[in-house]
Amino acid sequence: MPFWSLDHHMFICDTFVMTGGSIVNTQREFRRHFNIGRHGDIPSPRTIRRWVTSLRSTGKLTNKKPPGPRRSAHTPENVDRVQQATQRSPGRSARKHASELRLSDQTVRCILHVDLGLHPYKIMLVQEINAGDYAQRLAFARNMLQIFEEHVDAIIMMSDEAHFHLNGTVSKQNCRYWASENPCALHQRPLHSPKVTVWCAVTKECVIGPYFFEENGVTVTVNSHRYIEMINNFFISELHVRGMNTRTVWFQQHGATACTARASMDLVRALFNNHVISRFGDVPWPPRSPDLSTCDFFLWGFLSPMCMRVSHVPFWN
């Protein structure tokens, strides 16, 4: 917004009277007198009328601000109040702190950031990795690069199982923790809760599944027998429908006991020509590494709503 001086106010009011109240002529004379270009800022018709009305009603050209310092809620007392409130409830949002303290949201956020030097840390779900896992993850990456170089027609198929709990999930968007340093706080949730168990396999061309491990509509634990049954009755037929040549597929599975049992490994090795990426497989799969699987960082978040619908189990927040 341009700054209008007292000279601007005086010229507008005088010219408005001289031109008989013509807004257009007043603006034209204002532009010529102050040498303002075609695209330069000039008072709008609304501004001109407001200035003239103010002069006629109050006899003043400008509305001066009342004397004294500018009132502000950003005081040492309020800084102390915000600090105490944050120490009591560091997980409470700035908006709720503002409501409780009867301050504006902008004031509270300014105090939190500028005066207290706090940052709203957002909850993030991560996989715990042990110190010895880094070398195995690096070795796995190098093995996969070598496979890609030696087998240009290789197809990587990644599979995984997931449990979709039906008692709600953590809303990371609404979780904040105000602190000067990352608190690395843990979010606890019930160990046993209603869930559905789903299996899927992913390639660059398609998604096979989902397959629900259940009997008579009830979720069951995945063991070696049920895993082999899924491969024979579901997985193999899906591969045939898609016309996939399993001899060129490198099949990845995680290291759960159901997948790495002797009978399970014999079946997948025979099916995929000893191209098995797994614990005890032809290419070792590093432990505690779900972030390396396509299912984990792409598929499960996409399938979550669909799995809730298919399971016919009520879902609530």
How do the pLDDT tens digits run along the chain, 317 residues long? 567 888 888 898 999 999 988 999 999 999 999 988 887 888 999 999 988 988 888 877 766 555 555 566 788 899 999 999 999 988 888 888 999 998 988 899 989 988 888 888 776 666 667 777 888 888 888 888 888 888 878 888 988 887 776 655 544 544 566 677 776 665 555 555 567 788 888 888 888 888 888 888 788 888 999 999 999 999 999 998 888 888 888 898 888 888 889 999 999 999 998 899 888 888 888 877 777 777 776 777 666 555 444 443 333 33
At 159 the three-state DSSP class reads: strand
H helices within 37-166, ranges in order? 45-58, 76-88, 94-101, 105-110, 133-150
- What is the per-residue burial (b if ≥16 Cβ within 10 Å, else e) of 47-76? ebeebbebbeeeeebeeeeeeeeeeeeeee
Beta-sheet pairing, 283-284 with 195-202: unpaired
pTM value is: 0.49
Considering the segment(s) 133-172+184-311 as one domain, its CATH architecture is 2-Layer Sandwich (3.30)
Would you list the domain boundaries of the chain?
6-58, 76-117, 133-172+184-311
3-class secondary-structure state, position 277: strand
Checking phi first, is residue 240 left (phi over 0); if not, alpha (psi -120 to 50) or beta?
A: alpha
Beta strands in 195-259 (DSSP E): 195-202, 207-212, 214-215, 218-219, 249-252
**To which residue do tokens 């010229």 refer?**
11
Per-residue confidence (pLDDT) for residue 317, from 0 to 100: 30
Q: Is the dihedral of CA 174, 180, 184, 187 positive or negative?
A: negative
Structure tokens at 109: 């956020």
Assess whether the previous peptide bond of 290 is cis (omega < 30° from 0).
Answer: no
Residue pair 285/268 in contact (Cβ under 8 Å)? The answer is no
